[in-house]
Amino acid sequence: MEKQFRKTALAVALSILPALFSAEAFAGKRYGTPPPLTLSGDLSSPWTLQLAPKKRVATRAERRKAKRPAGLRANKRQTYRAIKPFKRRAKASTRRVAARTGTVQPVNRAAQSTNKAAINPELLPTIVNYNGSAAPGTVIVNTIERRLYLVQPDGKARRYAVGVGKPGFEWAGNHKVTRKTEWPSWRPPASMIARERKKGRNLPAFMPGGVKNPMGARALYLGSTLYRIHGTNQAWSIGKAVSSGCIRMRNEDVMDLYERVPVGARVKVI
């Protein structure tokens, strides 16, 4: 009986021996020397946060962007072209002519002049016959016709279209040109300022000469009156009765008359 028990115990021991050896081998692998532990630089954090984070894998778009040459950009076909510097266009205000300072580029006079093709031919200067008694060099303003005549020798006269005083502001008389001015300033009389204020329009007490000035490019002052023969920035008013008594001319026409009429010339308004 005892002999039989020993045989049984030996058989059991031999059967479990391979399992013990395999468990020991497994334990050796499990409890072997671990790989070195990488820690982050912040050792004040909890131990679990000190483990260095796993390196993030860059996306495809990020890798493609990192390979682009500096200063270049890719178009839709993945080709590269140089980025051209952006040129800001100058403001319109810096491209306009400053009438007072004259510090900008010269004016294109052709662009500023009135388009003659759009003007009624009857309003353009012309040479006409004259059989009156006025001496050559005399200026005659016919407010009914709304025309100005500069008497020439040999029975001729240069005729210009003009704007005249509106109803209630007509006048007539004989004067001399006492002064001439290029690009005149404008000081509207107090009566005009008060009159326009009642209409809701505020006039300045003074306006320097320039393209926006209603006195236009030239002015011929008549005697000691407030009346003048002058240009205008409202060419549409030529041939009409819309002024406060002054004789208006197109800027081109008053510049021509300015060169032909000297100070002291006689002016007759009828």
Find the CATH number of the domain harbouring 248.
2.40.440.10
- Number of domain units in the chain: 1
Residue 165 included in any domain: yes
Give the pLDDT confidence score for residue 66 in this predicted structure: 74
The rounded distance, in Å, linking the Cα atoms of 52 and 56 is 12
Q: Which of 57, 269, 54 is nearest to 148 (CA)?
A: 269
Just list the catalytic residues.
230, 246
Residues comprising the chain, all counted: 270
- Average pLDDT across the chain, whole number: 78
- CA separation for the pair 231, 163 (Å, rounded): 10
Kindly state whether residue 44 falls inside one of the protein's structural domains.
Answer: no
Beta bridge pairs of residue 74: 80
Does 183 map to a domain? Answer: yes
Is 242 within a domain?
A: yes
- What is residue 49's predicted lDDT score, i.e. its pLDDT? 54
Reply yes or no on whether the pLDDT at 30 is more than 50: yes
Confirm whether 88 is domain-assigned. no
More confident residue, 70 or 141: 141
For residue 250, pLDDT over 90 is answered with yes
Average pLDDT over residues 157-169: 97
pLDDT for 58? 73
What is the C-alpha radius of gyration for the chain, rounded to an integer number of angstroms? 50
Q: Evaluate if residue 219 carries a pLDDT over 60.
A: yes
Q: What is the pLDDT of residue 71?
A: 53
pLDDT of 195 over the 50 cut? yes
Asked if the structure places residue 141 within a domain, the reply is yes
Please give the residue range of the domain that contains residue 234.
Answer: 119-269
Say what the pLDDT of residue 61 is.
78
Nearest Cα to 192, choosing from 184, 203, 181, 183?
Answer: 203
In a domain, 167, yes or no: yes
Q: Which two tokens stand for residue 18?
A: 């391979």
Band of residue 56 on the pLDDT scale cut at 50, 70, 90: low
| Residue at 53 is within a domain | no
